[in-house]
Chain A
Amino acid sequence: MYNYLAYRFGTSLAVMFGVSIVTFGLVFLTPGDPAEVILRQQLERQPSQQEIDAFRAERGLDEPVPIQYLDWLSGVLRGDLGSSYYTDTAVSTLLVDALPLTLELAVVSMAVALVIAIPTGVLSAVHRGSAVDHASQFGALIGVSMPNFWLGYLLILVFSLTLGVLPVAGAGSYSQLVLPALTLGTGMAAIVTRLVRTSMLEVLEDPYIDTARTKGLRERIVVYKHAFRNGIIPVVTIVGLQFGSLLNGAVVVEIVFQRPGLGMLLVDAVFERNYPVVQGIALFTALIFVATNLLVDASYRYLDPRVSLGGETA
């Protein structure tokens, strides 16, 4: 068990090292000379050679690339992600300020998703082939296919503009969290419903379920006490993995609802070519992603003792 965890921790570190190279290297995708392009964007005119040279010297961009990378990496390891090109605010401060709004959105959305998906998925599996099953499966398909930015505007149109019961946008109050969480959560619910259904169907075919039935246990006990407990295990994995991909959806949803979280910070920074902020957020989201995967793996092994320990994961 501990060997396995140590191995997974080691590979995660290796992956994060790769991630840091990619994140740092992204800047070099800039068409033309990054310093010149950044300055042109900032000054809204063609910068002079002196200005370019001064900017390079100030930001350490006159060093050879490997040195720049090592400087950046050693800063990152000390928690220093650099500072914004525009305001000189530390990127870490910007991240810490924006994070709670995104985290709040992600957690509440996941709760919305589970509240919808677990009962629907279980019902669907227990009544396989019934009208309930077909309806929930079709609903899930629609949910997976719906662009979440469109769903967001539909909800705004109905609840804010027509019924006038919820605010259009912004952040800070609970009423401003309802529509974004519904937007992000229902899309997620669609994915989780399908997984709960598949997982329950597999468990319900296990011999021990037949045993429980032959013992004369009531169907409700069989399903909810015996099948559900095992059926829900894969869902834990998926919830963990999807939590990372909630960050994808959060970007778009934050734009729709004008929530100044990580997603909006990222989009603004991308358009302003505020590279330290872009790199900081890319690195940070990847770290969350890798860390949740690691946690999920560890918890999965804890929850399901049948999983062999020390095994290869590929």
Chain B
Amino acid sequence: MNDLVGSLRTRYRDVRTSRELRAFLADPLNIAGLAIVGTLVIAAVFGPLVAPYDPAAQDVPNRLQGPSLAHPFGTDQLGRDIFSRLLYGARLSLGIAVLVTAIRLVLGTTIGVLAGYAGGWIDELLMRLVDVQLAFPGLVLALVIAGILGPSLRNVMIALAVVGWASYARVVRASVLSTKEREFVQAAQLMGVSRFRITIRHLLPNVASPVIVLATLNLGTVILGTAGLSFIGLGAQPPTPEWGTMLSAGRHYLRDAWWIANIPGVAIMLTVLGFNLLGDGLRDILDPKHDATSEKIT
């Protein structure tokens, strides 16, 4: 009997999942998002194998060359191949985005669960901490933290992680607050299930959907933030093929060599667009009740 119920439940879940998946794949915008992100992942993983040149190899006689067969995206002010640098940059951007988003997610979720589950003064304290973090314009705080720690890519990642966890904490806390009042959680509590187990088995699965959506959109904002801070000069330092740094170097050659600044610009925009498309698509199937007016950019 139990087996039957179990298998029916699994089947129901499968049907629902496949219906959602079909709806997701029916939207051309989602397909576009998948295609962009897929390309980025492939570039990040296989880029160094495909790249025709060493991203740091200078070839001064061939500097500022426009796009050609030898250099599909042209060469920069030091004669380096922009296509190769873009491929290496993809690995950097994607890696940073995933890592920073993961830290934000873990930090924010932990704080959100603690606040929502513990309640009382712990909740009050943690939520005021969230308020304080959200009281700063995100990029301004990240800029200050990264600047004081000293210009480097690692410090930019720390800064971006520290300023971005609060929205996760809010979402998770709200969800935990409503879930913990539901019968199945109370039943589990009465049966003496440990708090840790209740959190893992009952509270976290219920926050997964909004958190996944938030994280997907966050990957795009982190890429924008990293590029922005690198553009200012706080992130990756010059020889590193980071997209924001490349764009920043190209600004002095706008008139004579438009490709140096604009090709990394297109790369950043497409990447962020890809994550935004995916995030919007995921939200439609995972979190349909989402209230668009509560959106906030960091």
Q: Answer yes or no: B67 CB below 8 A from chain A CBs.
A: no
Are B228 and A147 in touch, CB under 8 angstroms? yes
Q: Answer yes or no: B227 CB below 8 A from chain A CBs.
A: yes
Are A19 and B136 in touch, CB under 8 angstroms? yes
Q: Answer yes or no: B118 CB below 8 A from chain A CBs.
A: no
Residues of B within 8 A of A278 (CB): 144, 147-148
- Measured between alpha carbons, how far is A88 from B262 in the docked complex, in Å? 41
Are B272 and A145 in touch, CB under 8 angstroms? yes
Are A14 and B149 in touch, CB under 8 angstroms? no
Residues of A within 8 A of B97 (CB): none
- Measured between alpha carbons, how far is A296 from B220 in the docked complex, in Å? 28
- Measured between alpha carbons, how far is A238 from B261 in the docked complex, in Å? 32
Contact residues, A209-245 vs B (CB, 8 A): 234, 237-238, 241-242, 244-245
**Contact pick for A150, options B147, B265, B296, B297, CB 8 Å:** B265
Residues of A within 8 A of B131 (CB): 11, 14-15, 18
**Among listed A51-59, A74-82, A111-119, A194-202, interface-contacting one:** A194-202
Are B144 and A14 in touch, CB under 8 angstroms? no
- Measured between alpha carbons, how far is A243 from B147 in the docked complex, in Å? 24
Q: Answer yes or no: A290 CB below 8 A from chain B CBs.
A: yes
Select the residue from B139, B227, B264, B280 with max chain A CB neighbours within 10 A.
B139
The A-B contact count (CB < 8 A) is 158
Are A142 and B269 in touch, CB under 8 angstroms? yes
Majority SS at the chain A contact face: helix
**Contact pick for B148, options A149, A251, A273, CB 8 Å:** A273
**Contact pick for B277, options A22, A141, A251, CB 8 Å:** A141
Are B265 and A198 in touch, CB under 8 angstroms? no
- Nearest chain-A residue to B272 (Cβ)? A145
| Number of A positions contacting B (CB below 8 A) | 57
Contact flags A133-158 to B (C-beta < 8 A → 1, else 0): 00000000110111101100110110
Are B128 and A238 in touch, CB under 8 angstroms? no
Q: Answer yes or no: A72 CB below 8 A from chain B CBs.
A: no
Are A147 and B138 in touch, CB under 8 angstroms? no
**Among listed A27-35, A60-68, A91-99, A176-184, interface-contacting one:** A27-35
Contact residues, A153-174 vs B (CB, 8 A): 153-154, 156-157, 161
- Measured between alpha carbons, how far is A154 from B137 in the docked complex, in Å? 26
Are B224 and A147 in touch, CB under 8 angstroms? yes
Q: Answer yes or no: B295 CB below 8 A from chain A CBs.
A: yes
Residues of B within 8 A of A27 (CB): 148
Contact residues, A10-58 vs B (CB, 8 A): 11, 14-16, 18-19, 22, 26-27, 29-31
Contact flags B223-256 to A (C-beta < 8 A → 1, else 0): 0100110011110000000001001100100110
Are B231 and A154 in touch, CB under 8 angstroms? no
Q: Answer yes or no: A84 CB below 8 A from chain B CBs.
A: no
- Nearest chain-B residue to A267 (Cβ)? B232
Are A16 and B273 in touch, CB under 8 angstroms? no
Residues of A within 8 A of B228 (CB): 147, 149, 252
